């Protein structure tokens, strides 16, 4: 347990107060959680990379439409030299103007994770040169499908089934 | 080295093949737990439609069957579409009255050329498969649910 | 090194999902100059089913059925990732017996996946006779799965709070019997195929990813370990019963395709070792194997991290007091393999079109989990 607390104090010391809002240990699975503002994201990721957290696992977006009109981005960074310790960098951006700086020049794998978040949530990454539909290429002309205000059933019925529902076998009823 | 490869290779050349003659020469592989076609006990089903709600593939629909069903006021029973069913067994697990169970009838017995015959009405579901002997492989009893619930409460 | 015929024209070639050298349902756009591959771009999306959206419309316990389906070859580690995340959300400790059995099932899935990959690799090299024995060994494991879980490919054996059914009384003997058969075949394959001169010449020095750059490419699993970095989540962040068993993490030195082949075969032996250690620990008298959890989990988030057969598998679940998940994020292991790693190899090395399938298959991607 002491190594975790050491790491927590280290993170608190090394990350400047004006760039980072909070550094905590999450109550689930003892991961470190850093809450920051979207304009400092590049600084925080660079600082964490300098501290050994250079393994980007994923970038996730949560659409908090039911609570507040924001998108929350979570960057999962792991450190291999620190025995797989994991840091979650969380930041919130407004829902009507979802723009954030790209980090793909710091960690190359971010290029593809950002692409995925772009096509499923419509988040624009400033500085990312190849934003386009990637997995959904040539198959999709609707709004970003994982947003909470997107009704997938309605869209599918309108665009793929010509307004008809799937009928099971004989439809006697 | 390469000669070693030939040596070991010759050993396997004489073995019996692993491939099987399906459908009807050898029959499907089954075990005591194989999840296959459902059997519905219409005298137990109360039409609570838990199986319909839990089904991840949306394969179950509740349909009306006329007849003397004292326990089933609405007279609705599950109808399973085997074009959609993934045999996950969630419906059997969810059934609170032990009316649905699964058998080891799987494989070529369910293969058909007529798409309409994959739709199993409650009457068809409640009948035992005609030609082949079958075993009930999955069933969930009420007693077990209660026991598990008690254990969960004491552990939590 | 190798002689590469270079023409001055650059051509674009679509290396598609139907090609026997392609690793499943993905395409590539290759930029070629003569025989040399200059650039590679992944074209995914042939098998996109929208699992993250589908999971938002199904109950917590029902999503187990979906969670195994985005990677055919390694279903149980995918299930375990989801189940661990939901356990974490509920904040429960599952019974010890369930943990042991979950670990056994997940390790069997790893063995099965690596065996499948031997066939896959053999197809990339044009060798099919010897690797087909691996499919026979896999068949034994599929029969074992049918015996334990009732299905051969997708098992749905793990549930939030434990395992779905108790293990049968003859579980120990049956598992050992299966492992014996498998390890015999694997030993023969190692003798006849892995040490074979032709295989070595074809794969040694091809597709090198080495050292700390591999970490930044986002890759984990056997590819990272072949690059010389002993990183394994089973050791670093033990889940299920991995903290209670001893096993080695095989590490490569050269980081080429041959190292990756060797490491996967060594991992099969390590997995067998793990299962053999866990079998005597399973208590057959113990009736507690599953907690009955309330249908609505508490508000909050949960995280599951699993070392799948191809690398790190991460599942993050968010609940807003509902029977349905608010958000499920799945990060399956294959995406960096076919994007950053492949780009890195192609830009650092003279890759010819003949070597390309060998490199792709030695990375062992599972194409469906890129699309999800």
Give domain status of residue A60, yes or no. yes
Mean model confidence pLDDT for chain A: 80
- Are the C-beta atoms of C305 and C234 separated by less than 8 Å? no
pLDDT score for B107:
67
Decide if C281 contacts C289 (C-beta within 8 A): no
Number of residues in chain C: 372
At C11 the three-state DSSP class reads: strand
Residue A171 pLDDT: 43
Q: At a CB cut-off of 8 Å and minimum separation 6, what does B2 contact? A: C196, C197, C198
CATH value at residue A40: 3.30.460.80
The C-alpha atoms of residue C147 and residue A83 are separated, in whole angstroms, by 38
Let me know: does C365 contact C342? Beta carbons within 8 Å: no
- Mean pLDDT calculated for residue range B93-111: 77
Rounded mean pLDDT, B137-156: 56
> Cα dihedral sign for A92, A96, A102, A107?
positive
Identify the weakest region by mean pLDDT among A156-160, B104-108, C365-369: B104-108
What does the DSSP assignment read for chain A? -HHHHHHHHHHHHHS-TTTEEEEEE-TTTT-EEEEE-GGGHHHHHHHHHHTT--EEEEEEEEE-TTTSSEEEEEEEEEETTTTTEEEEEEEEEESSS-EEE--TTTSTTHHHHHHHHHHHH--EEET-TT-S-SSSTTT--SS-TTSTT--HHHHHHHHTSTTPPPP-SS---
CB pairs under 8 A between A and C: 96
End-to-end CA distance of chain C: 39
Answer whether residue B152 shows pLDDT above 60: no
Interface test with B, best of A156, A167, A168 (most B CBs within 10 A): A168
pLDDT in tens, C50-101: 888 888 888 888 888 888 888 888 889 989 999 988 988 888 888 888 889 9
Read off the DSSP letter of residue C226. H
Which option is the CATH number for B21-148: 3.30.420.40, 3.30.70.3270, 3.40.50.720, 3.40.1390.10?
A: 3.30.70.3270
CA distance A143 to A132: 13
Q: Which residues make beta-bridge pairs with C28?
A: C15, C42
Tell me how far CA of residue C176 lies from CA of A67, C262, C273, in angstroms.
52, 24, 11
Q: What is the pLDDT of residues C187-244, one digit of tens each?
A: 888 888 888 888 888 888 888 888 778 888 888 888 888 888 888 888 888 888 888 8
Could you give the CA distance from residue C113 to residue C133 in angstroms, rounded to a whole number? Answer: 14
Q: Look up the domain containing A125 and give its range.
A: 2-159
Residues of B within 8 A of C146 (CB-CB) are 29-31, 33-34
pLDDT tens per residue across span C5-37: 556 778 888 887 887 777 778 888 888 887 888
Long-range contacts of C264-267 (CB under 8 A, 24+ apart): C264/C114, C264/C117, C264/C118, C264/C222, C264/C364, C265/C114, C265/C118, C265/C186, C265/C189, C265/C190, C265/C194, C267/C110, C267/C114, C267/C222
CA distance C96 to C289: 8
Look at chain A and report how many structural domains it folds into. 1
Can you tell me the ipTM of this complex?
A: 0.84
Average pLDDT over residues A47-52: 84
Provide the shortest C-alpha distance from residue C38 to chain A (in Å).
19
CB contact under 8 A, B81 and A169: yes
Asked if C52 lies within 8 A of A54 by C-beta distance, the reply is no
Cβ <8 Å between B116 and A168: no
Closest-CA residue to C78 (of C292, C328, C247):
C328
Contact present, C86 and C354 (Cβ < 8 Å): no
Domain extents in chain B:
21-148
Query: Percent of chain A, pLDDT > 90?
Result: 0
Calpha distance A42→C315 (Å, rounded): 25
Beta bridge partners of C140: none
Strand order through the sheet with B119-120: B60-64, B76-81, B119-120
Q: What is the phi/psi pair of residue A57, to 5°?
A: -90, -50
Q: Which residues contact C168 (CB under 8 A, 6 or more apart)?
A: B32, C147, C148, C174
A173 at the B interface (CB within 8 A)? yes
CB distance from A72 to chain C under 8 Å?
A: no
Is there a domain that residue A164 lies in? no
What integer is the mean pLDDT of B113-132? 74
pLDDT, position A42: 87
* Binding partners of B (≥3 Cβ pairs within 8 A): A, C
Mutate to test the interface with B, among C56, C61, C64, C65 (most CBs of B within 10 A): C65
CA C164 – CA C149 distance, rounded (Å):
9
Count of pairs with CB atoms under 8 A, one residue in A, one in B: 14
Cβ atoms < 10 Å from Cβ of A158: 12
| pLDDT tens-digit readout, C296-343 | 888 888 888 888 888 888 899 988 888 888 989 888 888 888 888 888
Band the pLDDT of B36: cuts 50, 70, 90: confident
Task: Map residue C19 onto helix, strand or coil.
Answer: coil
Q: Which residues contact B148 (CB under 8 A, 6 or more apart)?
A: C290, C291, C292
Taking residues C356-367, what's their average pLDDT? 85
Could you tell me which chain B residue has the CA closest to the CA of C198?
A: B2
- Does A107 reach chain C within 8 Å, measured CB to CB? yes
Query: Measured between alpha carbons, how far is C27 from C47 in angstroms, rounded to an integer?
Result: 11
Which chains are adjacent to chain A, needing at least 3 Cβ pairs under 8 Å?
Answer: B, C
Verify cis geometry, omega within 30 degrees of 0, for the bond prior to A164: no
**Which chain B residue has the Cα nearest residue A168?**
B81
Chain-chain contact of B54 with C65 (C-beta, under 8 angstroms): no
pLDDT at A1: 43
Cα C10 to Cα A62: distance, rounded to the nearest angstrom: 42
Contact assignment for A107 to C218 by CB distance below 8 Å: yes
Which range scores top for mean pLDDT: A24-38, B95-109, B111-125, C261-275? C261-275
Q: State how far the Cα of C39 lies from the Cα of C32, in Å rounded to an integer.
A: 7
Question: CA-to-CA distance for B144 and A67, rounded, in angstroms?
Answer: 39
Instruction: Please name each of the domains of chain C with its CATH number.
Output: 10-371 (1.10.645.10)
pLDDT of residue B130: 53
- Find the closest chain C residue to A59 by CA distance: C331
CB A36 within 8 A of CB A20: yes
Work out how many CB contacts closer than 8 A connect B with C.
90
A34 belongs to a structural domain = yes
| A89 close to C (CB below 8 A) | no
The rounded distance, in Å, linking the Cα atoms of C110 and C269 is 11
pLDDT band at A173 (very low <50, low <70, confident <90, very high): very low
**What global pTM score does this model have?**
0.88
A134 touching C (Cβ < 8 Å) = yes
Considering only the beta carbons, identify the residue of A86, A108, A120 that sits closest to C216. A108
Q: What is the pLDDT of residue B1?
A: 67
- Angle between helix axes C131-149 and C96-125 (nearest 10 degrees) is 160
């Amino acid at each position: 347990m002491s190594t975790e607390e050491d790491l927590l104090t280290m993170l608190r010391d090394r990350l400047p107060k004006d760039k980072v809002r909070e550094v905590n240990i999450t109550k689930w699975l003892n991961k470190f959680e850093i809450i920051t503002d979207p304009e400092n994201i590049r600084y925080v990721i660079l600082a964490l990379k300098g501290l050994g957290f250079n393994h980007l696992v994923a970038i996730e977006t949560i659409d908090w439409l039911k609570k507040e009109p924001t998108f929350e981005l979570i960057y999962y960074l792991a450190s291999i030299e620190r025995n797989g310790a994991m840091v979650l960098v969380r930041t919130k951006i407004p829902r009507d103007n979802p723009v954030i700086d790209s980090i793909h020049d710091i960690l190359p794998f971010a290029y593809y994770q950002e692409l995925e978040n772009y096509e499923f949530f419509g988040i624009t990454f400033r500085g990312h040169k190849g934003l386009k539909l990637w997995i959904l290429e040539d198959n999709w002309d609707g709004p970003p499908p994982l947003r909470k205000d997107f009704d997938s059933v309605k869209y599918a019925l309108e665009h793929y089934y010509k307004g008809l529902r799937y009928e099971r076998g004989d439809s006697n009823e | 080295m390469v000669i070693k490869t030939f040596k070991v290779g010759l050993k396997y050349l004489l073995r019996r093949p692993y491939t099987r003659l399906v459908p009807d020469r050898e029959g499907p592989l089954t075990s005591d737990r194989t999840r296959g076609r459902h059997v519905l006990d219409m005298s137990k089903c109360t039409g609570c439609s838990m199986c319909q709600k839990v089904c991840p593939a949306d394969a179950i629909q509740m349909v009306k069957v006329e007849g003397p069903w004292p326990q089933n006021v609405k007279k609705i029973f599950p109808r399973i579409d085997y074009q959609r069913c993934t045999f996950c067994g969630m419906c059997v697990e969810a059934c609170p009255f032990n009316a649905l169970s699964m058998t080891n009838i799987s494989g070529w017995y369910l293969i058909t050329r007529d798409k309409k015959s994959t739709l199993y009405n409650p009457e068809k579901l409640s009948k035992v498969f005609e030609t082949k002997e079958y075993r009930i492989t999955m069933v969930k009893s009420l007693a077990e649910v209660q026991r598990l619930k008690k254990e969960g409460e004491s552990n939590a | 090194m190798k002689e590469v015929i270079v023409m001055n024209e650059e051509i674009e070639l679509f290396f598609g999902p139907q090609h026997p050298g392609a690793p499943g349902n993905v395409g590539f756009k290759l930029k070629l100059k003569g025989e040399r591959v200059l650039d590679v771009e992944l074209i995914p999306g042939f098998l996109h089913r929208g699992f993250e959206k589908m999971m938002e419309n199904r109950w917590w316990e029902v999503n187990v059925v979906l969670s195994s389906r985005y990677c055919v070859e390694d279903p149980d580690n995918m299930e375990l990732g989801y189940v661990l995340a939901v356990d974490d959300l509920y904040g429960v400790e599952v019974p010890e017996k369930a943990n042991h059995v979950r670990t056994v099932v997940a390790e069997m899935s790893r063995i099965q996946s690596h065996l499948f990959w031997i066939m896959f690799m053999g197809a990339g090299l044009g060798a099919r006779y010897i690797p087909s024995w691996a499919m026979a060994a896999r068949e034994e494991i599929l029969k074992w799965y049918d015996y334990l879980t009732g299905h051969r490919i997708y098992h749905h054996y793990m549930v939030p709070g434990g395992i779905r059914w108790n293990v049968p009384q003859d579980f120990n003997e049956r598992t050992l019997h299966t492992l014996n058969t498998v390890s015999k075949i694997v030993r023969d394959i190692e003798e006849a195929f892995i040490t074979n001169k032709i295989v070595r010449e074809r794969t040694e020095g091809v597709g090198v990813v080495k050292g700390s750059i591999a970490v930044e490419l986002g890759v984990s699993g056997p590819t990272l370990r072949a690059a010389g970095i002993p990183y394994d989540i089973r050791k670093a962040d033990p889940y299920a019963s991995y903290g209670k068993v001893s096993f080695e993490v095989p590490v490569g030195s050269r980081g080429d395709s041959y190292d990756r082949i060797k490491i996967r075969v060594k991992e099969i032996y390590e997995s067998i070792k793990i299962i053999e250690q866990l079998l005597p620990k399973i208590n057959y008298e113990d009736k507690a194997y599953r907690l009955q959890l309330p249908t609505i989990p508490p508000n909050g988030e949960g995280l599951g991290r699993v070392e799948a057969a191809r690398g790190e598998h991460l599942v993050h679940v968010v609940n807003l007091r509902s029977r349905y998940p608010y958000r499920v994020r799945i990060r399956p292991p294959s995406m960096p393999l076919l994007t950053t790693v492949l780009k890195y190899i192609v830009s650092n090395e003279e890759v010819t079109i003949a070597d390309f399938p060998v490199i792709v298959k030695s990375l062992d991607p599972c194409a469906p989990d890129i699309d999800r």
